Amino acid sequence: MKPNPQLTLGPCLFNWPETMWRDFYFRMADESDFDRIYIGEPVCSKRLPFRNSVLPDILERMAAAGKTVILSTLALVTTKAERKTLQGQCDQDDWMIEANDLTALAFLKGRNHVIGPYINLYNEDSIEALSKRGASRFVLPAELSATTAAKLIKAAPDPTYELQIFGRLPLALSARCYHARLNHLSKDSCRFVCDQDLDGRDINSLIGQQFLAVNGIQTMSYGSQLLLEELPSLIELGIGAFRLSPHTGDMISIAKTIRALLEQEISAIEARKAIEKEMPNHHFINGFIHGQAGMKHVAQSLAV
């Protein structure tokens, strides 16, 4: 393995209660050793007031702990109010921004920032153009294969590339709210019912197959991404940072296991057993990185 791959914590994608959200990040500040921690609300602007009420305390705790924090922005900006909020986030100078919607790029031109996984990047020309505008890190889209990632990195090797290796994968966003509709509510009067499913709500296909999950307006994978055996190949091709996506359960323990794997203190087999024990309700997948259906678990070695 190449030295010093970074371990990062992505933003919480679920509608956790305000105190739970705050306490989670307090613990990340006090106990974790992530190289970067992303904090924000990428999914639904209706959750922002709850996040903003505790965000100053979280950022203060993070700063006191010496953590590197990046603010994650909305991934679907559709109203003037959302655009105004986004501009306010981008205009501040205290925290680096992860842009998850192209709207943010107008406010970030010339300033160092991260391109999040919701901005679809599939060619080196786009990476080169965004790099010239200030992007120094790219979080690769969930569905990208290792073969495609290798071609992009070879053509544009200068930025840092980050990839989610743990957690349900964000697949799509809609102007409609699935959680509201499932509860016979409108989006405008949703009653924040997505807080009933702290890791998203499982959705079966018409034939009863466990297939997807919904999280408010977001469609996610049913299975949780878990890339362990693939890490040496991913580091070799140029992935410089690996992201864990927050879920209920002991994320500190998951992070310690993966850190130990990255530092070659344990094997991938040992890491998988530990994570499966820690997260027994998760169904783990890795298909996308192998160039196959994302919902699959592929046992063979990663071909790049």
> Which of 9, 21, 11 has its CA nearest to residue 192?
21
Tell whether 279 is covered by a domain: yes
How far is 251 from 262, CA to CA, in rounded Å? 16
Q: Strands 201-204 and 160-173: what pairing? A: unpaired
Tell whether 88 is covered by a domain: yes
> Which of 165, 197, 198, 173 has its CA nearest to residue 183?
197
Tell whether 192 is covered by a domain: yes
3-state helix, strand and coil shares in percent for the chain, rounded to the nearest 5: 40, 20, 40
Statement: residue 2 has pLDDT above 60:
no
The CATH number linked to 127 is 3.20.20
Q: Does residue 8 sit in helix, strand or coil?
A: strand
Please state whether the predicted TM-score (pTM) of the whole model is above 0.85: yes
Structure tokens belonging to residue 1: 């393995």
Tell whether 275 is covered by a domain: yes
- What are the tens digits of pLDDT across the range 7-48? 999 999 999 999 999 999 999 999 999 999 999 999 999 999
pLDDT at 1: 43
Tell whether 302 is covered by a domain: no
Tell whether 133 is covered by a domain: yes
Segment 184-190 long-range contacts (CB within 8 Å, at least 24 positions apart): 187/217, 190/46, 190/216
Overall number of domains in the chain: 1
Tell whether 153 is covered by a domain: yes
Amino acid at 114: V
> Which of 292, 155, 125, 301 has its CA nearest to residue 223?
292
- What are the tens digits of pLDDT across the range 166-189? 999 999 999 899 999 989 999 888
Q: Does residue 218 sit in helix, strand or coil?
A: strand
Tell whether 172 is covered by a domain: yes
